[in-house]
Amino acid sequence: MAGSQSIEQLSAVLELFTEQHGLVTVDDIMAALGLTRSTGYRTVRALAETGLIDRVSDEGYVLGPRILELYRQLQTGNPLLAVARPLMMALAAESAKGTAVLLCRSYRDQVMCLHQEMTYGPQEPVSYQVGKPMPLYAGSSSLVVLAALPRPRLQRLYERDAALIAKAGLAKSSEEFFRALKEIRKAGSRVSRGEVDKGRIGISAPFVQGDLGIIGCLSIVLSEAHASDMDISRARLQVVAAADDITRQLAGGERQKAAGVAVKRKAQK
């Protein structure tokens, strides 16, 4: 049961809920998926019973409380977060006011922030918000993740996004692109100033999750106004150490696998 087609359909319903358009009517759903009345209502009712969507008066449906419940289960049950959170809290505790610590990962040719730890006190905004997919080609977080992706995937990305990549000021040719990424890879970390948010400095280092192609990074985001060069290089050391720690712990957590061999399977396709 629950064949792949119905799951796709369900996913299509959930996709109708966007940031701008949070309220979806049954008619919207029927129209978008090409369903008849009966089927439309039935689908919506079934979804509402699971709590994934939620009826709001006569106007339509919004995403439901079950989403929050799942969110919480992800927060508590996800091994990456379990490993990363204490490290992030430690980093935040050692950092100056107005600093943000971010955990991001690759997600569908984009980068998504999974978790943030903020130091006390007022914060300048950070565009990388939890759950918001961000472009791959700007910002220290995106770039270290990008640089860590396997070559064939980068190839495809460049072919598709050459224009975007040029526009982001990252590279004007395929050669330049690969060279730039190679340098980031070699450096093992990346600092960018005001690339995404004016007045912010991002400092990021990558990690790998398990034998699979899940690539992520840890970032420290400083306020440009208050950060000295020494602060930046200190943050860089910290973030690299913490990211390596994540890689190690995630690999170590995989049961018996005592040997440090790792990474055999091909990453993504």
Partner DNA sequence: TGTTTAAATACCAATATTTGGTACTGTAAC
Partner DNA sequence: GTTACAGTACCAAATATTGGTATTTAAACA
Asked whether position 93 contacts its own copies by CB under 8 A, the answer is: no
Residue 124, helix vs strand vs coil: coil
Rounded to the nearest whole angstrom, what is the least distance from the CB of residue 123 to DNA in the complex? 41
For residue 125, what is the DSSP state? Answer: -
Q: Which is nearer to DNA, 34 or 121 (CB)?
A: 34
Beta carbon nearer to its own copies, 67 or 180: 67
Output the smallest distance, CB 201 to its own copies, in A: 24
Question: Considering the rule CB under 8 A, would residue 21 count as an interface residue with its own copies?
Answer: yes
Q: Residue 38 binds which entry of DNA, its own copies, none, with Cβ cut-offs from 5 to 8 Å by kind?
A: DNA
Residue recorded with tokens 């996709």: 15
Give helix 37-50 / helix 26-33 axis angle, nearest 10°.
Answer: 120
d(C-alpha 91, C-alpha 249), whole Å: 17
Give dist(CA 200, CA 250) in Å, integer. 30
**Residue in 138, 135, 84 with CA at minimum distance from that of residue 107:** 135
Q: Which is nearer to DNA, 58 or 175 (CB)?
A: 58
- Residue selected from 31, 68, 89, 225 as contacting its own copies according to rule CB under 8 A: 68
Using CB under 8 A as the binding rule, the residues of this chain from 147 to 206 that contact its own copies are none
| Residue 18, contacted partner among DNA, its own copies, none, CB below 5-8 A by kind | its own copies
Applying CB under 7 A, the residues found at the interface with DNA are 1-6, 9, 26, 35-39, 41-43, 45, 58, 211, 264-266
Checking DSSP bridges between strand 110-118 and strand 100-107, what pairing results, if any? antiparallel
Q: How would DSSP label each residue in 37-73?
A: HHHHHHHHHHHHHHTSEEEETTTEEEE-HHHHHHHHH
In the bound state with DNA, the residue whose beta carbon lies nearer, of 34 and 77, is 34
By a kind-dependent CB cut-off of 5 to 8 A, residue 131 interacts, out of its own copies, DNA, none, with its own copies
| Tokens (6 digits) for 7 | 């799951």
C-alpha atoms less than 13 angstroms from C-alpha of 264 in its C-beta half-sphere: 5
Nearer to its own copies, 18 or 230 (CB): 18
